[in-house]
Amino acid sequence: MNEILLVVDMQNGFMSEKCRHIIPNVIKLIERFLVVGKLVEFTRFINTADSNYVKLIHWSRLIHEPETNIIDELQPYINGIYQKYYYSAFTENFSSFIFLNRINKIYLCGLETDSCILKTAIDSFERGIEPVIIEDACFSNGGQQAHDAGIFLLKRNIGKNQIIMTDEILEKIL
């Protein structure tokens, strides 16, 4: 089974104080995946001045550096970064990477549970790739309520057994 850990949008512009608690779990996951020779990739969201984020929801962040940069704590672990201009990681480049590497299971951690994690997990599910969300290695700037809403929808749409905790992954990935 070809598996990947996908670290979603752990960027300066998303990393508020309410989200920082997931950083240690994300680092533990990255290190374990790398030690056992599994793939670890990153996504980086880039907003544009003419996007629907700006036009429809009046959100104009993450257009420029340093907001778009991956947080300092994760810089040493970056191998590949897939830029995306929308919620899902499934850009043309990332989709090609998944196909070429015959990935059939994606572990997701990072930000935002209720949007980018949710959309990437559902897109993975619909492509026949098993998504696994690491609940205590994800969070949302909308706070606990937004995170919980994302987890609720994920359980409903991809299955409750697809939501697990960091310790469960660390025990399985030897």
Quote the percentage of the chain above a pLDDT of 70.
99
Q: Write down the pLDDT at residue 1.
A: 66
Q: How would residue 173 be classed by pLDDT, with cut points 50, 70 and 90? A: confident
Provide the mean pLDDT of the chain.
Answer: 96
CA distance linking residue 124 with residue 3, whole number of Å: 12
CA distance linking residue 10 with residue 123, whole number of Å: 20
CB 33 within 8 A of CB 39: yes
pLDDT digits (tens, 9 = 90+) for 97-152: 999 999 999 999 999 999 999 999 999 999 999 999 999 999 999 999 999 999 99
pLDDT digits (tens, 9 = 90+) for 53-77: 999 999 999 999 999 999 999 999 9
CB 170 within 8 A of CB 32: yes
Kind and range of the H or E run holding 137: strand 130-139
Domain boundaries, the chain: 3-172
Q: How would residue 174 be classed by pLDDT, with cut points 50, 70 and 90? A: low
For the domain spanning 3-172, the CATH number is 3.40.50.850
* Other C-beta atoms lying within 10 Å of the C-beta of residue 1: 7
Q: For residue 6, what are the β-bridge partners?
A: 41, 108
CA distance linking residue 18 with residue 33, whole number of Å: 26
Q: Write down the pLDDT at residue 172.
A: 85
CA distance linking residue 109 with residue 7, whole number of Å: 5
Token pair of 163 as six digits = 């939501």
Quote the percentage of the chain above a pLDDT of 90.
96
Q: In what order do the strands lie in the sheet with 163-164?
A: 81-84, 39-45, 3-8, 105-111, 130-139, 163-164
pLDDT digits (tens, 9 = 90+) for 108-118: 999 999 999 99
CA distance linking residue 75 with residue 20, whole number of Å: 15
